[in-house]
Amino acid sequence: MAGKIREIKARQKAVGNIQRITKTMQMIATARFQAMQRRATEAQAYARKIREVVGELASAVAGEVSHPLLAAPEPAAGRRLMLVISSNRGLCGGYNANILRESLREYRRLQADGQVDLEIVGKKAQSFFKFNQVPVSAYHSHFGDTADFADVDALAQRYIDAFTEGRYDAVQVVSMRFHTMSRQTAETTPLLPLEPPAADAGSAGGGTTLYEFSPEPEELLNELLPVTVKTALFQAFNEALVSEQLARMVAMKAATDAAGKLKKDLSRQFNRARQTAITTELSEIIGGAAAIA
């Protein structure tokens, strides 16, 4: 009985240590989530404004927009590029599992139509595709817990150059899309070619505002369409990072709550075992005294 009591006490200590660790990780994930959510919200406002300006420019040229980023190359290259954004660390629930499941499904679908170049971000994606024996063209290890716009800009520019040179028919990104605090989904987002900007997408008032552009709208589109691609990729990174920290925060809270519940169960087991030991010792003393008498 004494051995069982010592075992329960050791388990109580171990569970207490785990609870302190998961609680700390929950607090860190919460702080990071709040910071990244502010950053993603600010970037989203910028991306929305860029789309509004491009919509006004499209309206100015009566919708007749011609740009290499708006259509697949001719002749077709027969090759596509897919970027998968995962995390470097685990302990974030089903975050990586959902992304990797979606990416493998999309990769196999694209393979049926032609060749696919796969590029990945995050150690989890690297391990997953290595285990599934899927060839990876590039692993971007320099992306960590945050995504600097300079790094995303360089990556997006490389995709733009490759697409305009006719090496790829399309470029797409598989990542976690942040909708609300309670809803995040793994989605495949087309990056290139861009959808032609709508002529009435300029403003909430239906695009009735008249603008005088300098330089000409065509020249401005040549500058703004690459910026639109870079902003879209940067937003994909931001939403992926926000979703990762939210998933880790929820997972660590669940682990902390589970550890607290286990501590209560162990306390009850400890009290029962100690009471049983005391009762046994009293019975032995009483029995011994009765035998002597």
The whole-number pLDDT of residue 109 equals 94
Greater model confidence, 43 or 25: 25
Domain spans, the chain: 28-250
The whole-number pLDDT of residue 59 equals 67
- For residue 86, pLDDT over 90 is answered with yes
| Percentage above 90 pLDDT, the chain | 56
Contacts of 185 (CB under 8 A, 6+ apart): 98, 176, 177, 179
Mean pLDDT to the nearest integer, 271-288: 84
3-state SS, residue 3: helix
Nearest in space to 232 (alpha carbons), one of 181, 182, 186, 195: 195
The whole-number pLDDT of residue 198 equals 60
Mean pLDDT to the nearest integer, 63-71: 74
Start-end of H helices in the chain: 2-60, 95-111, 123-131, 149-164, 217-292
- Given this structure, which CATH class describes domain 28-250? alpha beta
Structure tokens that stand for 176 in this block: 């976690």
Mean pLDDT to the nearest integer, 203-214: 57
Q: What is the mean pLDDT of the chain?
A: 87
Torsion of CA 22, 257, 180, 142, to 10 degrees: 10
Would you give the DSSP letter of residue 86?
-
The whole-number pLDDT of residue 195 equals 79
Residue 173 near residue 236, CB atoms below 8 Å: yes
What's the pTM? Answer: 0.84
Residue 99 near residue 186, CB atoms below 8 Å: yes
- Give per-residue pLDDT as tens, 136-166: 999 999 897 788 899 999 999 999 999 999 9
